[in-house]
């Protein structure tokens, strides 16, 4: 014990501990970087896709997001957002943005499928992030009942129970989901675009996301067996419409009846 105590008081002990700490930290960083790189490379993109995507990014996106997608005051960094985020934002026309506003709105897209894939490949090469979902998760053959339960618990408070969309604060809104592709629905859950929270695999599993997509596509094709759904805005707005319309009919009938008696 005495010999060990003397070694701890040695002038070089602090330097040795510092070097040991740096070696351990460097080793852990190297392992983490290797894991991230492995995750980033588990895509179907080629090196040429990433190279062409870099050219498209520099010409169309770097003004806001900066060279190397490191971000500027006009746009956030895209390092680590993954290919799924790019495919959603660019594939729905939300990016590049048409104008500044509370949130990016859907519009006719500027890039075709190949160019969108190239942009996604470039951003995916910058860091690990959610990848474009596998086709097996988009086959719309999940459990619609479970999907409906998951949707009502996690999504209906913004998108409406009938997925008809709804208003949020300060000019923001949750869009209607009718007509949205299963791939873009999955990518939105995985990446959390605009004001939407991220539902990673720990929140909603890939199978759960598949079930939600199945549910949304099922209610989209079912229609409204009870007649006009009035936009599916919910019982309050629909009840108000029925009340106003019914009251109008009663008033009109009363006026007609009194005019007949006079």
Residue among 197, 194, 162, 193 nearest 176 (CA): 162
Residue 147 to residues 141, 155, 168, 215, Cα–Cα distance (Å): 11, 11, 24, 5
Query: In the 8-state DSSP scheme, what is residue 196?
Result: P
| 3-class DSSP state of 99 | coil
- Residue 158 is assigned to a ligand binding site: yes
Query: In the 8-state DSSP scheme, what is residue 176?
Result: P
- Residue 155 is assigned to a ligand binding site: yes
| 3-class DSSP state of 75 | strand
- Residue 204 is assigned to a ligand binding site: no
Q: What's the rounded Cα separation, in Å, for the pair 196 and 168? A: 11
Token pair belonging to 132: 């474009």
| 3-class DSSP state of 166 | strand
- Residue 65 is assigned to a ligand binding site: yes
- Residue 181 is assigned to a ligand binding site: no
50-59 b/e with 16+ CB inside 10 Å = b? bebbbebbee
Other Cβ atoms less than 10 A from the Cβ of 63: the count is 13
- Residue 9 is assigned to a ligand binding site: no
Binding-site sequence positions: 61, 64-65, 155, 158-159
State the binding site for heme c: 61, 64-65, 155, 158-159
């Amino acid at each position: 014990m005495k010999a060990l105590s003397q070694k701890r008081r040695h002038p070089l002990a602090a330097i040795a501990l510092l070097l040991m700490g740096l070696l351990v930290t460097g080793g852990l960083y190297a392992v983490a970087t290797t894991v991230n790189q492995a995750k980033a490379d588990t895509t179907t993109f080629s090196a040429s896709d990433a190279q062409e995507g870099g050219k498209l990014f520099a010409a169309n996106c770097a003004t806001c997001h900066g060279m190397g997608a490191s971000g500027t005051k006009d746009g956030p960094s895209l390092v680590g957002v993954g290919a799924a985020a790019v495919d959603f934002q660019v594939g729905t026309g939300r990016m590049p943005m048409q104008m500044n506003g509370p949130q990016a709105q859907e519009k006719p897209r500027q890039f075709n499928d190949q160019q969108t894939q190239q942009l996604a490949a470039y951003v995916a090469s910058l860091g690990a992030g959610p990848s474009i979902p596998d086709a097996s998760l988009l086959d719309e053959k999940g459990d619609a009942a479970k999907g409906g339960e998951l949707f009502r618990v996690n999504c209906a408070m913004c998108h409406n129970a009938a997925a008809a969309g709804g208003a949020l604060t300060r000019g923001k809104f949750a869009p209607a989901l009718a007509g949205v592709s299963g791939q873009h629905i999955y990518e939105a859950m995985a990446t959390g675009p605009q004001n939407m929270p991220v539902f990673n695999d720990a929140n909603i599993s890939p199978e759960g996301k598949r079930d939600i997509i199945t549910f949304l596509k099922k209610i989209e094709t079912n229609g409204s067996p009870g007649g006009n759904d009035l936009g599916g805005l919910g019982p309050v707005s629909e009840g108000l419409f029925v009340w106003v319309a019914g009251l109008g009919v009663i008033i009109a009938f009363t006026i007609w009846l009194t005019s007949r008696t006079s």
